[in-house]
Amino acid sequence: MDAVLDFLGGIPEAALTWLPLVFLGLIVFLIWKSISLMPRVRPTEVEPSSKSSVTWDDIAGVDEAAAELQEVVDFLKNPRRFSQLGARVPKGILLYGPPGTGKTLLAKAVAHASGSTFYSQSASAFVEMFAGLGAARIRKLFDRARKNAPAIVFIDELDAVGTRRTGSGFNREHDQTLNQLLVELDGFDHREQIVIIAASNRLEDLDPALLRPGRFDRQVLVGPPDLAGREAILQVHTRGKPLAPDVDLGAIARQTAGLTGADLANVCNEAAIFAGRAEQVQIRQDDFDAAFERVVAGLQQRKTMSEKEKRVIAYHEAGHALVSHLVGEPQPVQKVTIVSRGVALGYTLHTPQEDRFLNTKEELVDRMKVLLGGRAAEQIVFGAVTNGASNDLERVTAIARAMIFEYGMGDEVSSRTLRADNYALSEETKRLRDEEQARLTDQAYAETLRLVSKHRRSLDLIAVELLDHETLNRNELEALLADVVAESNASERVGTPRAVSAGD
């Protein structure tokens, strides 16, 4: 300490006065240097004369969203046709929906068809740790669009900057960036012929100020395709591929309910890979079946298991398949196997016969029974349960929770929905909800135990066949269960009695 004081005492008084300023200047220099060394993120620009790789012919399964965007393209190409009627081009169009449904693909088609300068940038490019940089980048983007109007600005993953403002002051850079985006959306009118297209997977997380009319005038849902949409998407992605005569795209579309456009593209690509691996000259239906299984269930793996574990897995999967047949599951079993895929040691593959948008309470309860069939088979055959049903139990819990809190299918209060995280609920209401969830799952499990015990002989038949052949397809399973189905039809309805639905 004395040495430090001696050193400072030897420095002239004038130098000591300037020393803090020198340190401050050094800090400013280091900050400026770190900012200048950051990679400059520029938006992707597509000139009107440029050709995009995606056209409207490559878009399928999202007809409503495509029509909305084609209208904007027509407006920019021929504004007089609309303006003479007093119409104005929408300022902003927000495409929202699950990942992989084609939001970015739609934007690329607009880039090709618009005839206008097209700017594309991910919202994550505006996110910085230094306050003001994200806002500056947004200003530059919109300034460039104004200078090159008519123009379209596409912002992907809008939720990276558009999430709700907290007002706590802990994330000032995020708030400044969002505020600048709001200002820019208000800073131009329809005469400038600038359209903002944004995409987001999480509409519920966006700030309400973004969603009001005058900023994003249109909000377009881009959801998973229906049956006709899936077949059209398959036709697009098999264009130019040599297909064997036995390939039925309609059948593939029927068994891929719930898959997005990206999933279907992956199925087509995997089918081509399977065909190439087998040195075939055409893609066969078997290749598509294997590709579908690869996409939905994961990579096939050969795991070394003891005979006891293999027997437990066989009875577990046999329980799922048996209960599915007994309750008349709307999604029949397409395949049951004890071959490992991904993290699953075995699996039962269900394929829907049609798109379903409504489910009765009884159908949801039957779905829980099918999920609990594996656990019930383990308990009946071995007198103990394993951790193999963990994912089944998670899905059963999610169904029961949704039935009580979202669908109003409880017995105590059935005329209103309740948010599970609503802290304003009384303790009595929470207790009733927990009791109703437990009652639903416990009753479903008790009925599943009864069904599996009653048809133990059929359970043994399926399990033995699985141990011998590892895999059973739908026809083989139906042949094994023909006696059970006949017996059930002759005696009594085994599943839960169903109410007549609107589609019956």
* Domain of residue 384, CATH code: 1.20.58.760
Q: Are 197 and 60 in the same domain?
A: yes
Mean pLDDT of 58-76: 83
83 falls within a domain:
yes
| Cα 142-144-148 angle, rounded to 5 deg | 115
Distance CA(396)–CA(404), nearest Å, equals 13
Domain final residue pick, 297, 316, 333: 297
**Confidence band (pLDDT; 50, 70, 90) for 416?**
low
Please provide the average confidence, as pLDDT, over all residues in the chain: 78
Q: Are 372 and 245 in the same domain?
A: no
Flag whether pLDDT at 160 surpasses 90. no
Q: Are 173 and 278 in the same domain?
A: no
Give the gyration radius of the chain's Cα atoms. Answer: 30
pLDDT of residue 420: 52
Q: Are 92 and 209 in the same domain?
A: yes
pLDDT of residue 493: 45
pLDDT of residue 497: 41
Q: Are 104 and 232 in the same domain?
A: no
Mean pLDDT of 222-251: 89
Mean pLDDT of 107-116: 80
Q: Are 345 and 368 in the same domain?
A: yes
Q: Are 418 and 304 in the same domain?
A: yes
Domain final residue pick, 221, 252, 270: 221
Q: Are 290 and 305 in the same domain?
A: no
* Domain of residue 213, CATH code: 3.40.50.300
5 falls within a domain:
no
Which residues are known catalytic residues? 317
Domain final residue pick, 297, 329, 346: 297
Residue 99 backbone phi and psi in degrees, to 5: -65, 145
Number of domains in the chain: 3
128 falls within a domain:
yes
- Where are the alpha helices (H) located in 148-257, listed in sequence order? 159-162, 172-186, 208-211, 227-237, 249-255
pLDDT in tens, 328-387: 776 777 778 777 766 667 777 777 767 777 888 898 999 999 999 999 999 999 888 888
Q: Are 395 and 480 in the same domain?
A: yes
Distance CA(272)–CA(148), nearest Å, equals 43
pLDDT of residue 31: 62
Mean pLDDT of 129-133: 58
pTM for this structure?
0.74
* Domain of residue 235, CATH code: 1.10.8.60
Neighbours of 474 (CB within 10 A): 15
* Cα–Cα distance list, 90 to 86, 154, 214, 215, 417 (Å): 13, 14, 8, 9, 35
Domain holding 110, by residue range, is 44-221
